[in-house]
């Protein structure tokens, strides 16, 4: 899954793809590099991000979804029902839902659904994340949401970095097999995230390629069915190597 943020403020590619033509061109480049899905988002959910109105989100994403959906499977990365609905009308077939609350929208439209775990909301989620047993709690939450969804295609995602400390992120990755064992296909997004910076001498977001690919490869080796990546070519190369 290639990441396409049509936002001014995403943590690693904010502002780069705000122009729809530039966004579509970048999406097609990721398809040429081997992405099977392009994940179009119009609202940053980085820690501390301010919410965006649905009107503004729609203005950003719709032309891009429309243009790309003739070429590749498009997912819509949103927390808002009206944005998911309009994006599906425009050609998206997967709702990438960091709020894990839009199953009804995907069900009504016959689209697939990704349920991601998040503790709190983006504005405050990194202030004091706390769990008794992060792996068990994330797993229980995702299974409950997935079981309740009347959607034929459901993915679960531990939500790396969404209300999680470094130790929580590492535990979830270490025990990813426990999510895989639920039988639901697992999506994992580590690409360029802050915890990788901390693990690599404070490398900035655009200098976390090796860490991003290494953690994607780890996730695939543990049984993840999809990884969400900004740097598609090296991630696909790593995935193909693992297949061999």
**46 carries an active-site annotation:** no
Q: Is 160 in the site for ligand HH2 (CB under 6 A)?
A: yes
Give whichever of 24 and 155 is closer to ligand HH2, judged by the CB atom.
155
Active site residue 228: yes
Neighbours of 25 (CB within 10 A): 12
Contact status: 57 vs ligand HH2 (CB under 6 A) = no
> Do 72 and 91 contact (CB within 8 A), yes or no?
no
Distances (CA, A) of 13 to 63, 206, 222, 229: 19, 8, 28, 12
| Of positions 2, 42, 112, 189, contacts ligand HH2 by CB under 6 A | 189
Binder to ligand HH2 among 116, 134, 176, 220 (CB under 6 A)?
116
For residues 32 and 15, what is the distance between their CA atoms, to the nearest angstrom? 22
Tokens representing residue 176 in the block = 């990813």
Which of 50, 35, 38 is CA-nearest to residue 6? 38
Q: What are phi and psi of 39, to 5 degrees?
A: -100, 105
CB of 214 to ligand HH2, least distance (A): 16
From CA 34, how far away is CA 13, in angstroms rounded? 20
Nearer to ligand HH2, 51 or 70 (CB): 51
Residue 93 touches ligand HH2, criterion: CB under 6 A: no
Is the Cβ of residue 10 or residue 171 nearer to ligand HH2 in the bound state? 10
Tokens of 45: 């959910």
DSSP string over 53-120? -HHHHHHHHHHHHHHHTTTSEEEEE-S-HHHHHHHHHTT--EEEETTS--HHHHHHHT-EEEEE--SS
Which part of the chain contacts ligand HH2 (CB under 6 A), choosing from 38-46, 55-63, 128-136, 206-214? 38-46
Is 5 a binder of ligand HH2 (CB under 6 A)? yes
**Contact string 118-157 vs ligand HH2 (x = CB under 6 A):** ---------------------------------------x
**Which two tokens mark 42?**
């119009």
Candidates 6, 228, 229, 239: give the one binding ligand HH2 (CB under 6 A). Answer: 228
Instruction: Work out whether strand 37-41 and strand 226-227 pair parallel, antiparallel, or are unpaired.
Output: unpaired
Query: Residue with CB nearest ligand HH2?
Result: 189
Kindly tell me which residue out of 12, 119, 169, 215 binds ligand HH2, with binding defined by CB under 6 A: 12
- Measured from the CB atom, the residue of 24 and 173 that comes closer to ligand HH2 is 173
Provide, rounded to whole angstroms, the least separation between the CB of residue 100 and ligand HH2.
10
Q: Which residues bind ligand HH2 (CB under 6 A)?
A: 3, 5, 7, 10-12, 41, 44-46, 77, 96, 98, 114, 116, 157, 159-160, 187, 189, 228
Give catalytic residues, as residue numbers.
193, 228
């Amino acid at each position: 899954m290639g990441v396409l943020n049509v936002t001014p403020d995403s943590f690693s590619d904010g502002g780069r793809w705000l122009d729809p033509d530039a966004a579509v061109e970048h999406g097609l480049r990721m398809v040429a590099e081997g992405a099977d899905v392009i994940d179009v988002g119009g609202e940053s959910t980085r820690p501390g991000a301010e919410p965006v109105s649905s009107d503004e989100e729609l203005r950003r994403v719709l032309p891009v979804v429309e243009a790309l959906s003739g070429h590749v499977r498009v997912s819509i990365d949103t927390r808002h029902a009206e944005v998911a609905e309009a994006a599906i009308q425009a050609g998206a077939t997967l709702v990438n839902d960091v709020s894990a609350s839009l199953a009804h929208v995907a069900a009504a439209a016959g689209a697939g659904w990704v349920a991601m775990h998040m503790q709190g909301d983006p504005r405050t989620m990194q202030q004091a994340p706390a769990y008794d047993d992060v792996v068990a709690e994330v797993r229980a939450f995702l299974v409950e949401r997935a079981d309740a969804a009347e959607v034929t295609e459901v993915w679960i995602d531990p939500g790396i970095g969404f209300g999680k400390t470094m130790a929580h992120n590492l535990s979830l990755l270490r025990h990813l097999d426990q999510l895989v064992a639920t039988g639901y296909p697992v999506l994992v997004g580590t690409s360029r995230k802050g915890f990788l910076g901390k693990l690599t001498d404070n490398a900035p977001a655009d200098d976390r390629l090796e860490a991003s690919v290494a953690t994607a490869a780890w996730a695939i080796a543990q049984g993840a069915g999809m990884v969400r990546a900004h740097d598609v070519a090296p991630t696909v190369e790593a995935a193909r190597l693992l297949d061999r």
